[in-house]
Amino acid sequence: MKVLYHPEVERIISTLPKEYGSRVLKVIDLFEDYKFNLIQAYLKKIARGIWELRGGRYRLLFGIIKGDTIIVNMFMKKTQKTPKQAIDLAIKRLKEYEK
């Protein structure tokens, strides 16, 4: 299973301070190793076809298309609930990859 990044997600990761960037990359590596067997502290399903990876203060929203993991949105968690706008954007971007 390959992990692909939406260009905007790549840009955000590259601009993060080293401490946060390494934490985000670590949780992506954990997902690559353990897939959907990760504990809920790192992984949670939030919508149909959309999962959330938790890397410290940052959240990565992704989906699976043809066996590849596609990280389509990333944001800093500020509230307890995942913002609807972030989920909607993830769904929209994931549909673009399905075409």
State how many domains the chain has: 1
Q: Is the Cβ–Cβ distance between 53 and 43 less than 8 Å? A: yes
Q: Quote the CA–CA distance of 27 and 56 in Å, as a whole number.
A: 9
Task: Read off the pLDDT of each residue in 60-71 and give the average, rounded to a whole number.
Answer: 96
Nearest of 99, 69, 72 to residue 2 by alpha carbon: 69
* pLDDT per residue as tens digits for the range 27-56: 999 999 999 999 999 999 999 999 999 999
pLDDT at 99: 79
Q: Domain limits at 85?
A: 3-98
Please state whether beta strands 3-5 and 50-55 pair in parallel, antiparallel, or not at all (unpaired).
Answer: unpaired
Nearest of 45, 55, 73 to residue 19 by alpha carbon: 55
CATH number at residue 66: 3.30.2310.20
pTM tops 0.85: yes
Task: Read off the pLDDT of each residue in 81-90 and give the average, rounded to a whole number.
Answer: 96
